Structure 1
């Protein structure tokens, strides 16, 4: 018997995840897979994995219960941040647990537990597209700020403001993690969209 868990996510409290759960339950029943548990959350997928309680509970559960597959309707249900999504996939892969993405009908592992190179390639591309979309949004916001400044407006922190070290460490978890792995400031900036100046400040904290 193939043991699976369902993972569903919506971004706001006004949305519901019932459709995702129902579709994945039907999928499991059709394939003869046993659904061991369902994990749902209402939280922004752009948040760090460590801030998402249900996601972390799911990862702990699938390891402890020797689950074979994690089912999601779309890759975006797993998260919207490239690094965060790939981190979850790598964690599952390392535990021999396949991620099944319904709308693309692909899995991250083959039947014999090996990484499915084609699906991994596609997932990386899809995650990168999502990251680029978020980057475009940030650029639009920055353009709006620049236009406001050009008209004499002032935005940003007050002069002399300095973010506390603990706040920096909380906000830039991924940047600090990549710094500890030896990534260059430029590469980290490309991966996360964080400015090199900010990453340099993060470096001074470690």
Structure 2
């Protein structure tokens, strides 16, 4: 007598599609300190992406630009275009202050990305635009960061103005070619170098090109301000 056996069908687990991830980083200058910081940041965010299930790193966008209005952020624009083209679904960045120059720009960019279904994660603050509670916090944090930057900038400008008014600014007493500081720290003409400056102007008025002036100075054995034998076009 055969037994009636029931066969239970176990459906396969649906394959979860990988989310397309982009990393955005920005530093304000190409100084060695900033570049080292940039390298460490990219490594950290790359590890985060690699260790998160169903995340696939598609591209890394890097801008070396200050936060001042008017500075070009070519990679940021490229990232926005990729998000609009559905090539990126998640953007990871270090913090809010590196994402935009001010509160308005940050919120406008986030709203634009939200319209395209793109999620933005700020790693340092632990904020995620997929969380509705994060929007208010992002606005508050960016406003505070912007106020701090503006205050710092004003303090620096105030310091420059105060030193200029008191006559103690080093900007006006720094060492220049064919000048030297007297015992009071005031710039005075250094005659042995001043004749070289006059020669450069004379050659220029005679129709010499920058390359021609460079060759003439080297031909005469006149050394650069740093004591080198070969002049650079930029120095001239």
Q: Same fold (TM over 0.5)?
A: yes
In structure 2, the residue matched to 1:130 is: 145
Q: Do structure 1's residue 79 and structure 2's residue 100 form an aligned pair?
A: yes
Q: Do structure 1's residue 8 and structure 2's residue 29 form an aligned pair?
A: no
In structure 1, the residue matched to 2:211 is: none
Q: Any residues of structure 2 matched to 1:1-206 within 5 Å, and which? A: 1-14=18-31, 15-16=34-35, 17-32=38-53, 33-48=55-70, 51-110=72-131, 116=132, 118-141=133-156, 143-144=158-159, 147=162
Contact 1:74–1:102 at 8 Å: present in 2 too?
yes
How far did residue 93 of structure 1 move? 1.3
Structure 2 distance, partners of 1:85, 1:60, is 16
Contact 2:127–2:138 at 8 Å: present in 1 too?
no
How far did residue 150 of structure 1 move? 6.7
The higher radius of gyration belongs to 2
TM-score (norm 1): 0.62
How far did residue 72 of structure 1 move? 0.5
Structure 1 distance, partners of 2:114, 2:70, is 19
Q: What is the aligned residue count?
A: 146
Q: Label 1:91 to 1:48 Cα distance change in 2 as closer, same or farther (>3 A).
A: farther
Q: Label 1:46 to 1:84 Cα distance change in 2 as closer, same or farther (>3 A).
A: farther
Structure 2 distance, partners of 1:21, 1:149, is 41
Q: Which has the higher helix share?
A: 1
TM-score (norm 2): 0.55
Q: Which has the higher contact order (CA 8 A, sep 6+)?
A: 1
